[in-house]
Structure 1
């Protein structure tokens, strides 16, 4: 079974618990901090991946490092350590955030542009694409990409809307080539 499928199962369980206790926002905040800690602290990953250490030693570290998080978050982390699945924490967090966003009608978008977008441009993109995708809110993550000559490319989930000059020139070239045949 793939890691993402397993991560999704854990995320669904935590999401249902959070929904039942009406603390989804708190869980999301905690999980984003947990993911950041795991991604930025290689020694933590090495410690949890060390086969010579007992499961109890690893769980004690989790209890100490994440003592300020909710019981639900901490128990999920402890369960992942017990099942030797601490390497999937980032995937679990991504799945949890995705489920929470879907439940609230929120989508995340990566917008690639040659320069930083202004607030007005960001607002326009949010309005147009939230309406197009029939969602309440579109959260934009602006990524400055110098390879974008002009225009923007938007990735929302697995959909890509490419309005870059580079892509438009490629389409024009293809149309000219096929028209001359």
Structure 2
């Protein structure tokens, strides 16, 4: 996505953030995650939305049917406004921007934790406590991803920061160090 598209999406996200306020952030975040997932996963829907012969009303009805009619008026009106202004391609980016704003307001960060096996609830809680303090957040929303290629240990991605404690990561670092010393 270009810089201009990101700016436009952020404007819609900020407007929605101001409308919703702090009281309904969690509900709005969960609705926008649903909208984002539906639009990202359904390539046929994206093609129909981009088709010039499909009317704006038909596009709105398709989105309503795809996502479900149980969205709050603020979210639905924002999505409809974006369709009316031919900004439907920015809806997923707007959702991502809003989630980022909501996380910032609540002191929460999203974290992807890569491990060779699914982590227990206790392990997830310990990771959350340890790494939330490291990145200066109140809490982390952890998504555990199983990745057997790590061999052992874990790798954590929080925003653009990566904490790599995996065996494969250590082996890669050793390999680079040996290659640079051998030159």
Q: What's the TM-score bracket when you normalise by the shorter of the two chains? A: 0.7 to 0.9
- Specify every segment of 5 or more residues in structure 2 that has no aligned partner in the other structure, as ranges: none
C-alpha distance after superposition, 1:88-139 (max 9, x if no partner): 2211111111110111011110011111112222111111101111211111
Bigger mean CA offset, 120-129 vs 45-54: 45-54
SS of the residue corresponding to residue 149 of structure 2 reads coil
The answer for the alignment partner of 1:44 in structure 2 is: 45
Deviation at 1:46, TM superposition (A): 2.7
Counterpart contact for 1:111–1:155, Cα < 8 Å: yes
C-alpha distance after superposition, 1:120-167 (max 9, x if no partner): 221111111011112111111111111101111110001111111122
Identify which of 90, 93, 107 aligns with 2:95.
93
Q: What count of residue pairs does the alignment treat as equivalent?
A: 180
- Pairs within 5 Å for 1:1-181: 1-19=3-21, 22-62=23-63, 66-176=68-178
- What's the TM-score once normalised by structure 2's chain length? 0.86
Bigger mean CA offset, 167-176 vs 42-51: 167-176
- What's the TM-score once normalised by structure 1's chain length? 0.87
Distance 1:64 1:118 in 2: 37
Q: 1:171 to 1:61 in 2, by over 3 A?
A: closer
Q: 1:127 to 1:58 in 2, by over 3 A?
A: same
SS of the residue corresponding to residue 161 of structure 1 reads strand
Counterpart contact for 1:3–1:88, Cα < 8 Å: yes
RMSD after superposition: 2.2
Larger radius of gyration: 1
